[in-house]
Structures are given as structure tokens and as C-alpha cells.
Structure 1
Amino acid sequence: MKNELPLVSIVCHTFNHEKYLEETIKGFLNQKVDFPIEIIIHDDASTDSTRAIINKYALEYPNLIKCIFQETNVYSKKINIWANYTFPSAEGKYIAICEGDDYWSDENKLQEQVNFLEQNDNFCICWTNYVTKTGNTYGESNLMVFDDYFKVDLNNIFDPYCTLTLTSVFRKDRLDLEKLNSLKHFKDNSLYLLLLKNGDGMFINKKTSVYRQHEGGVFSLKSYFFQQYSSYINIKELYDLDTDFQNENIKNTLRNLIRNAALDAVDIYFKNKSEFTKEMKGVIWKYFSSLSFKLKVRFIKLILKKMFKKK
């Protein structure tokens, strides 16, 4: 087993995750699988004891855990960590992702997903359901899917939204790493779209993982405006880049995202002008400019209604 190449490379990105990382790593180690794995942990110059925790487990499992340590934070420099560090280091046929503040709760998670992908070559990625955790409180995911197995492709991804990175397992050879690295606005949606260009996805409606929502989270507790607009510019970049992504589903997704961001920006303007930014103003104008004359009139009426209501 020592010299056997891994079938699955587990990729974990960390930054100041000292409160959570041990539970994350234990979730990897507790997986019951009949194939070899490797665990790649990337620490992005944490300032707490995250690195010490990684080193402790790396010493205990030297043939299992690979460490990548940054001396300066590369995420803040908008460097694609997946494309430049962790994915190129992965030796497995499959890559599974879980950030250092989330964890896997089902010991059979990897085995079940890999079994599915091994038996279905036309599928390139597989997700599962999950639960959320805020403090000590658990909650349901907001994934509106009720089938046990739900096929995902470019014509239905995001409608309903049924993907989250901490549950994903995908075929490494189906990902265009060079294109991923070329993107200015990369995030998880970039990964999903690029993979689905080369195969289908499967959502297994089984809760296998825990998604933490906490103050230090990169995305989970960001404002609604930020979440909607960052997803818009992320998807729009790929939409403009490749005609394969220019279908009605992606068009509708983009329309919904820019509308949601613009309406939230309007609310922020009337509720708390000190939080209103030039970017929000630009989003409102971008959305308004895209509307038909009839919808422009409705949007203006909405703004006037909010204006007079405030007075």
C-alpha cells in the first residue's frame, strides 16, 4: 500500500482553522474505503496554531498526509490555489474537496461516491447533501432537491442549486486546469461548469457532511449582495468565454443573480446609506440597463415606493 498510487486525493484548504481542523482531518481518516487515498492540506499562512495541528497529523501519518505551507497569504493576492498548488499535487484519479472548517460526518461518503463514478463513466462529478452548523446548532441545507439521485448538467445546474464544494468528488482528467487558472473570478461555480462541459454530475441526496457557518468563514456569512454579485461575475466570465455555457439555464441564472444583487443594493441604500458602495451603484445601473422599457418603469416605481415609504 505504501508505494501504491492513491485512487482519491483529498484536498483541504486551511486558513486560521485551529478551532475546526482536527475534526476535519479526523473525518478524512475515519473514511472506510477499499482503495488508497492521500490527503493534501494547504495552509495559506495561518497566524494561529493551524500549521502546528497539520504538522502533528503529518508526523503521525507521513505516508498519507502531504503538506503545502505558504509563507504569505496567496488567497489575498487572488491566486487560484486549486489550479496552482493543490490540484497539480494530486496523484489520484479522483479529487475530493473539503475546507478546513467543514467536515465529513459519514464514514462511507468517499466509498459510495467513488463506487458511483467508477460504474458510470459518463459522470465526471458527484455531490451529496449536507447539514449546516452554526455554533452548536445544526440545520438543514437549503438544497431544494427531493430525489434520491438527481442528474446535473449544464441545462439544469443552479436550478435547483444542489452543489457544495465540501461534498464534491470529481475526475481529475475531466478538468481543464489551464482554463481554470486563467479565470479572474474563479470560485466553486467555475469548477462545476468546467467539469460539466466534459460529463454529467450526480447529486446523491444523502447527508454526509457538515458545513460550518461562522464569523471567520470566507463566504457563508458574507452579505447577500456579495454572494449574489460574486456568483454573477464568476458565472458571467465563463458565459462570455465559451459558447458551451451560453444556454437558457445559464442566462436565467445570470438574470436572477444580477436582479437579486441589484434589489438588495437598493434596500441597502434606503436602510443604511453608509453601507452603500460604488459597486452597488454600478450593479443597480447594470441591472436597470438590461431591462425592457416596461420593466424599467416597474423598477423606477419600486424605487419611488421605497423612497416615499422611508419619508
Structure 2
Amino acid sequence: MKDQNAIISNWINNGGEPLVSIVCTTFNHEDFIGETLKGFLIQETNFPFEIIVHDDASTDRTAVIVKEFADKYPLIIKPIYQTVNQYSRKDINIWSDITFPEAKGKYMALCEGDDYWIDALKLQKQVDFLENNADYVITWTDFFTKKESEMVSNDFKEALPDIYTIDFDNLFDPYCTYTLTSLFRKTAVDPLEYRKFVHSKDNTLYALVLCNGKGAYMNFQSSVYRWHAGGIYSLQKPFVQRYSSYQNVKEIYEFIPQSRTANIKRVVKSLLKASANEALKTVNDKTIDNTNQKTAIKEFLNQASIGTRIKFFIRSVKNKILK
């Protein structure tokens, strides 16, 4: 990283700003954050970049490890240490309220503190593409999924071309737009718009960005998505995963006019169906609050055909018998 330090030092001395802002949010990732930061620092670029690391009041050694890296690379790593967890607050959105305003780059790249990059040219390839294609505003790449020590490839490598253009007509088909690989133009999204969404996720960000241009999936494996028991998403029950995704994409469809395509409408229906099927497994469990399960089933049946309602009823009866 000596060369990158020199590049950034020279840039700053001449009144410049980093071209890319890498934004990393982390919480209790002491086993992973070191590898994440190393993945940023190995990037070989002909431009300076900054790394904004937001530690959300971790209760383990995550903040200590971040500080060790920040002390070693003070020109590159800009840490934000919280003393009170912000993720649990309803009035704060970490991305739009905290990290985005700190970013100085023309481009923004996202990666959470338990995932990591393995291609030293990741940023350079994505920036070069956007610099040479003005009608595109965001890029993603292929990645591995790491389960324990096993590295699992996606099907995208063979199924998709070198450059796969993404818009609202094919977004989520296939679902290759993972956060850890994303890089987009900062001017393509207004964080205040993002804040308006009640069920906002990274998909909300991408939908807002795609209102201003096309997306590109670049078919090279740049990163590793870590699947582990401590992950926020993997800790959730299947129903919660499906229903939160349904609420998220439904909200996008309802509030972003450009998203009202046959493709997004199909995704909304598919997620609602999956939510209702998962809801059947716990809707009669009196030990939990199953309000959302009941709501999902009601919404699904209100939209379903008579034949689908009958099949669903039969499935619900079988589910009760099995229990």
C-alpha cells in the first residue's frame, strides 16, 4: 500500500479528492474485518480512493482492529466509531444519514465488514467501465459464496455474458446484484429520497440509481460473500427473509414509477407467494406474534385465483395435520 499512500498524499497536497469512496459498515465482525480491510487495501488503481468504515458500537474487538488499520493508513481509512448502536434506531439510516455524507468520491463502492474482495483490479475495472460508458450508472460483478471453508461459485459465470445490462425489465433475473460488488455514481442517487422508504434495503438504493441510467453486471469474480451464523440476514427466519423482501420490492414498485414493469410486478407476486407459503409453517404457533404471517396469507389469497386458493387451503390443512 506504499504506492497508494503516495498517490493519495500527492492528490491531497494538490487539493484533490479521492475518485472512489469505499463504504464499509461493520458490527461484531472481529473475525472478519481484518480480511475485509485487506481486500480494500490490495486494490491497484491509477486513482486515489478512501475507505469509510462505520463501526456500529461493536461489543467485540472490531473497533480495535479498525483502529489498528486506520492508524497505519491514516490518509486512506476514515473510521466512524459509534458508542450507541445506530442500526436499532428508527430515526436513523446509517447509509443516508451517516456514511453517504462523509463520502467525497465521484463513485461509491459498498462492502459490509464480513465480506471481502479478492481481485486487486476490482475497482479499476468498474471505474474504467463507467468512465467509458456514460449511459451506465452502476456496476456489479460475480462473486463466490463462502460457507465455512467451502468456496461456492455462482451459475452466473456460464449463464451471463461478459457484460450483462440491467434495468427494470430484468432486475433480479437472475439475482446477481449483491451489495459487496456494487460500485455506482454518487450523483445517481439522492440520500434524502432513500430515506423516504419505510422498508428500504440495498435494492431500494439500486432502484433509485437505475432511474438515472443503466446497470452493468461485469462477469468476473471479484469478491467473497460470507455465509455465516452471525450474519444479520442469515439469522432471520425464512418467513422474515421472504416477507421483508416482498415489502421492500413492493414499496419500490409502488413509489418508483420507472420500476412498474412486468418484471418487477412478477417479482412482487413471487415474493408474496413465497411469504405466504412460509407463513403457513408458523401462523398457528401461539407462542409467537404471527401478525405478519396472517397479513401475508391474507394479501396472497386476496390476489390469488380460485384454483390457487383451493390448493393453498389444502396445503394449510395438511400442515395442521402434520403438526
Q: TM-score, normalised by structure 2?
A: 0.91
* Range that drifts further, 133-142 or 198-207: 133-142
Return the offset for 1:213: 1.0
Work out whether residues 11 and 40 of structure 1, in 8 Å CA contact, stay in contact via their aligned partners in 2: yes
Provide closer, same or farther for how the CA distance between residues 197 and 108 of structure 1 changes in structure 2, counting only shifts above 3 A. Answer: same
2:282·2:290 contact (CA, 8 Å) conserved in 1?
A: no
Q: Is the 8 A contact 1:224 1:264 kept in 2?
A: yes
How do residues 29-40 of structure 1 correspond to structure 2 at under 5 angstroms? 29-40=41-52
| 1:70 aligned residue (82, 87, 91) | 82
Candidates 217, 223, 237, aligned match of 2:237? 223
State the distance in 1 between where 2:226 and 2:314 align. 40
Q: Give, in whole Å, the separation in 1 of the partners of 2:276 and 2:104.
A: 43
Structure 2: gaps spanning 5 or more residues = 1-7
Counterpart residue type for residue 260 of structure 2: Q
Residue 41 (str. 1) matches residue 53 (str. 2): yes
**What does residue 264 of structure 1 align with?**
278
Q: Measure the CA separation in 2 of the matches of 1:55 and 1:306.
A: 52
Name the CA distance, whole Å, in 1 between partners of 2:234 and 2:161: 25
What residue in structure 2 maps to residue 165 of structure 1?
179
**Superimposed CA distance per residue, residues 167-203 of structure 1 (whole angstroms, 9 cap, x where no aligned partner):** 0000000012111012111111101111111111001
Equivalent positions of 1:125-204 (< 5 A) are 125-141=138-154, 145-204=159-218
Residue aligning to 1:113: 126
Instruction: Give the percent of matched residue pairs that are identical in Structure 1 and Structure 2.
Output: 45
Distance 1:168 1:221 in 2: 23
* CA–CA distance in structure 2, aligned partners of residues 139 and 224 of structure 1: 21
Instruction: Give the counterpart of 1:88 among 101, 119, 129.
Output: 101
Provide the secondary structure at the position in 2 that maps to 1:77: coil
Q: TM-score, length-normalised on structure 1?
A: 0.94
Q: Distance in 2 between matches of 1:266 and 1:276?
A: 14
Measured after TM superposition, the shift of residue 221 of structure 1 is 4.2
2:260 pairs with 238, 242, 246, which one?
246
The letter of the residue matching 1:75 is Y
Distance in 2 between the 1:83 and 1:184 partners? 13
Gaps of 5+ in 1: none
Q: In structure 2, how many angstroms separate the alpha carbons of the residues matched to 1:160 and 1:132? A: 16
Is the contact between residue 32 and residue 111 of structure 1 (CA under 8 Å) also seen in structure 2?
A: yes
Counterpart of 2:4 in structure 1 is: none
Hey, what does 1:104 align to over in structure 2? 117
Q: Give the secondary-structure state (helix, strand or coil) at the position aligned to 2:51.
A: strand
Match for residue 3 of structure 2?
none
What are the Cα deviations for residues 239-258 of structure 1, in whole angstroms up to 9, with x where unaligned?
A: 22232222211111100001
* Residues 283, 294 of structure 2: 8 Å contact kept: no
Q: Tell me which residue corresponds to 2:308.
A: 295
Between the two proteins, the alignment pairs up a number of residues equal to 309
Equivalent residue for 1:15?
27
Contact 1:265-1:276 at 8 Å conserved across structures:
no
